[in-house]
Structure 1
Amino acid sequence: MAAPMIPPAHAPAFLAAHGWGDAQILPLAGDASFRRYFRVIGTGRQAVLMDAPPPHEDPRPFVAVAEWLRAHGLTAPAILARDLERGMLLIEDFGDARLRETADAAPDTEARHYAGVTDLLIHLHRQPAMPGLRVHALEQWLGEVSLFSDWYCPTLELDVDRDGFFAAWEQVLAPVSADGFPPVTVLRDYHAENIMLVPERDGIAHYGLLDFQDALIGHPAYDLASVLEDARRDVSPAVEAAMLDRYIEKTGANEAFRTAYWVLAAQRNTRILGVFVRLWKRDGKDGYRKFQPRMWGLLERDLAHPALVPVRQWFDANVPPEKRAAAWQ
């Protein structure tokens, strides 16, 4: 079940030990994990308290990736205080201006903001991949799509051809894994709710990054697909096409990158369909069900790409229309 938004009992002592003893602690957000966030308001200053309780969570990856990103010219929160044994971090507060709400409120800014976050990825991909991260490649991609067969299909009482499912995915993913693009740091949850607008900064630093503790080393198309095929907000197809073109033109990538984009978008969206069912059935977080129609819309568009014919044929044979978006509406 989702954890209640009550600060842990040891939070006041942690804050007092680091000079924030007079601060208010207000609920800010939970997420799909066990992590919770609180806004800490002191006299003339504010910060964010991250509660990442062990044994479910470990804040060390967040600290390591944040410090690496900051060292490479990107805007991740500064770590103001830490208690790693209890899973508590006090981090820089980027405010409330998320990309999602900003772009929704002013649609005429969408293309400009998505150009900025595309350029951020281009900058990130020009850096050497962060050392020590897990690899995200063919074996992992196949493991991730199993969330669809393991959670989505049983929940909707679908009797599917599991062997054919994995065979189809391997057929379309294997060429992407061998397409020759150098591996890069993959933030993995790069989307409009994890990108903040930091107005006092310029250029790519204008976009503050959150929720990157699961970073991996993988294909450069993955995070671009993540932000342009967003599970939580509709990115206009024209902006998606323009940003894919922008990335290819600015990096000199060949057309194999475009194929990788559609294949990895389909892989990611299939995984998320399963993840959202697991969050509902296992963790009691039923709010994620509302995103399923959007996920199906994205996946069905991805499956129209010629590189995905084997996977599209499997879905056509195994998942009827009434078990897709219609099941969630």
Structure 2
Amino acid sequence: MTETNTSLNLTLQNEADTIRLGEELALVVKSGDCLALRGDLGAGKSTLSRALLRAMADDDYLEVPSPTFTLVQNYDLRLPVAHFDLYRLSDPAELEEIGFMDALENGVCLVEWPDKAGDCLPQTRIDISFAFDPAGGRTISITASATKIARIKRVLSIRRFLDSRGYAGARRRHLTGDASTRAYEYIYPTDGGARRILMDAPRQPDGPPIRDGKPYSQIVHLAEDVYPFVAIDLALRARGFAAPEIFESDCEAGLLLIEDLGPDTVLDEGGRPIAERYRASVACLAALHATPFERDIPLPTGGVHHVPDYDRTAMKMEAELLIDWHLPWKRNGEPATAAERAEYLAIWDALIDQLADAEKTLVLRDFHSPNIIWRGDRQGIDRIGLIDFQDAMIGPSAYDLVSVVQDARVTVERDLVDQLMTDYLSIRRSESDFNEASFLKAWSIMSAQRACKLNGLWVRLMTRDHKPGYMKHMPRTLWHLSVAFEHEALAPLRDWCARVGIGENESLPQAR
């Protein structure tokens, strides 16, 4: 269904305002966006284009020549960007010759003098019209679908948040987005102070109910606003762990300005694990598991955040991703039979029953390479910066150890896995109430549960969400499942997978 277009009107007082708008548009453009820039000579089209390109390159001195004579200039940036100037275009049919459709398919198009293209520009474009204001400056009208206008309004509202909190004029640059709806920016204060990070996590509407009247996010206890992040952050910092300080917040708007813990990760330049850093991460995790956390954490704005349980319903719902998405994909679209589903779920009920006596603690849930910051100038647990913990639960402590030693996004070779397990267990053995056999059984069960979830999730991201890039991780996470199967408790699940063909003819992951 085609969305109805809507408009947004702005006033730009001077060239600096035009540059700022270009920089802020650089934060929200997505692959497939076409920005049609309309206006007379000198109205600001080229100024905005230049600012957008330099912001995406994070290079204030990037050469941005006018494409007036070449018709197009291409830039390999965070997203590929093609800058078109169609003033000299003699026939709209020439767009195909200069690669317009390919550029639009692969990235972002900036188009000056779009009227020369006739009706060849996409209906889903973002029209930006410049006009001279009799009072001085420029007036800007932006017309696009409601979804795209909402993106632009959001980035402008973040600017207002920063301006109101003492960061007026701060330089903003894209940091990252993830598979969720969160996005992050680097914030550079004008006074030269320390770089901050802006976390943009607007409250999400509930999805469609899928079971017992609840959406998927509620069933598996995914954070729907920033309050859980704030609560867990404060609890971690109060116990001496290196979570980021929160400098400014508007929790209702889903905006947090937080400490930048640093640029270093636990991986080398080639994306391979650095053993020392992984071992320090596991030591930090062992300390975390030996630290008590309350279930109800007071919030600075009043009220409390109740840390949910990693309960049977959540575990099974995640494990079902394997049978709902991976198995049909494996079978070229043929779903599981009723008998196969019933047996699979019964196996998981029995496995979850065996977790009744497992150690329970705060589970960060995503303790792996993208979310571990290395702070080599610190000591002890302060060397390990913790981020992305808003979905934390109370559950088997073994889950987070699975997350790091069976890193979903990078291959941790078996010898390092064994070393990390040895490190963790040697630290925990000094605790009189630590039950190693129970922990190892829980580790294997949670390893299988996480692998089942991920091997289904990769397919869902590809087929439903059109994000095929995650499929490269599947050989690795299938290997993780085979490692979990080494424990005798997993024999029923191992046999079921063998019968339905999961894991067959799959190559083991290669080190990156």
Instruction: Return the TM-score normalized by structure 1.
Output: 0.90
Q: Is the 8 A contact 2:361 2:397 kept in 1?
A: yes
Per the alignment, residue 155 of structure 2 pairs with 8
Structure-2 residue corresponding to 1:123 = 287
Structure 1: which amino acid aligns with 2:427? K
Tell me the residue number matched to 2:198: 49
* 1:324 CA displacement: 5.2
Post-superposition shift, 1:305?
A: 2.5
Distance in 2, Cα, partners of 1:22 & 1:298:
48
Q: 1:136 is matched by which residue type in structure 2?
A: Y
The 8 Å contact of residues 136 and 218 in structure 1, kept in 2 or not, is answered as yes
* 8 Å contact from structure 2 (residues 358, 439) kept in 1: no
Query: What is the number of residues matched between the two proteins?
Result: 319
User: 1:146 pairs with 320, 325, 342, which one?
Assistant: 320
* Bigger strand share: 2
1:22-33 correspondence runs (5 A): 22-33=169-180
Residue in 1 that maps onto 2:343: 164
CA separation of 1:187/1:103 partners in 2, compared to 1, >3 Å: closer, same or farther?
A: farther
Post-superposition offset of 1:286: 2.3
Whole-angstrom CA distance in 2 between matches of 1:97 and 1:180: 34
Aligned to 1:72: 239
Q: Does 1:94 align with 2:248?
A: no
Does the 8 A contact of 2:202 with 2:254 survive in 1?
Answer: yes
Q: 1:321 to 1:116 in 2, by over 3 A?
A: closer
Cα distance in 2 for partners of 1:191, 1:234 equals: 11
1:19 maps to 2:194:
no
SS at match of 1:99: coil
Shift of 1:173: 3.0
- Superposed CA deviations along residues 162-205 of structure 1, whole A, max 9, x for unmatched, are 11111222233321x12342x10000000011000123422111
Residue of structure 2 equivalent to 1:38:
185
Q: Distance in 2 between matches of 1:246 and 1:87?
A: 38
For 2:197, give the aligned amino acid.
Answer: V
Structure 2: how far apart are the matches of 1:126 and 1:61? 22
Q: Counterpart of 2:458?
A: 276
Q: Is the 8 A contact 2:368 2:403 kept in 1?
A: yes
Change (3 A) 1:282 1:53: farther
CA contact (8 A) 2:398 2:443 kept: yes
SS at match of 1:45: coil
Residue 278 (structure 2) aligned to one of 88, 103, 114: 114
- Residues in 1 aligned to 2:294 and 2:180: alpha-carbon distance in whole angstroms: 23
Shift of 1:147: 1.4
Indicate the residue corresponding to 1:313 in structure 2. Answer: 495
Give the C-alpha shift of residue 135 in structure 1: 0.6
**1:321 positional shift:** 5.0
Distance 1:230 1:153, change over 3 A: same
| Preserved CA contact (<8 Å) 1:296 1:325 | no
Relative CO higher for 1 or 2, CA cutoff 8 Å, sep ≥ 6? Answer: 1
Task: Indicate conservation of the 8 Å contact 1:158/1:319, yes or no.
Answer: no
The CA distance in 2 between the partners of 1:259 and 1:138, in whole Å, is 17
Q: 1:158 to 1:300 in 2, by over 3 A?
A: farther
Deviation at 1:17, TM superposition (A): 1.0
| Equivalent residue runs for 1:217-236 within 5 Å | 217-236=394-413
SS in 2 for 1:128: coil
1:248-284 per-residue CA deviation (whole Å, 9 max, x = no partner) reads: 2222232221122122111111111122222223333
> Which structure has more helix as a fraction of its residues?
1
1:50–1:90 Cα contact (<8 Å) kept: yes
Q: CA offset at residue 101 of structure 1? A: 3.7
Out of 225, 236, 253, the position equivalent to 1:58 is: 225
- Residue number among 418, 423, 428 corresponding to 1:246 in the alignment: 423
Aligned to 1:297: 479
Unmatched runs of 5 consecutive residues or more in structure 1: none
Moved over 6 A (4+): none
1:94-120 residue CA offsets vs partner (Å, 9 max, x unmatched): 222111346946x6x41x222211111
**380, 384, 395: which one pairs with 1:203?**
380
Q: What secondary structure does 1:90 align onto?
A: strand
Structure ID, larger Rg: 2
Matching residue within 437, 457, 468 for 1:255: 437
Which digits, 9 at most, give the CA deviation of each residue in 1:189-231, with x for residues without a partner?
A: 0001100012342211111011100000011111001100010
Task: Report deviation, 1:45.
Answer: 2.3
Report the TM-score when normalising by structure 2: 0.59
Contact 2:324–2:335 (Cα < 8 Å) also in 1? no
CA distance in 2, matches of 1:289, 1:217: 30
Contact preservation (8 Å) 1:130, 1:217: no
Moved more, 131-140 or 33-42: 131-140
- Work out the CA distance in 2 between the residues paired with 1:320 and 1:271: 13
Deviations 1:71-110 (A, max 9, x none): 01101111111111211111111222111346946x6x41
Map of 2:389 onto structure 1: 212
Query: Residue 158 and residue 179 in structure 1: after superposition, are their counterparts in 2 closer, same or farther (change >3 A)?
Result: farther
Give SS of 2:369's match: coil
CA contact (8 A) 1:79 1:92 kept: yes
- Kept after mapping to 2: 8 A contact 1:99/1:197: yes
- 1:173 aligned residue: 352
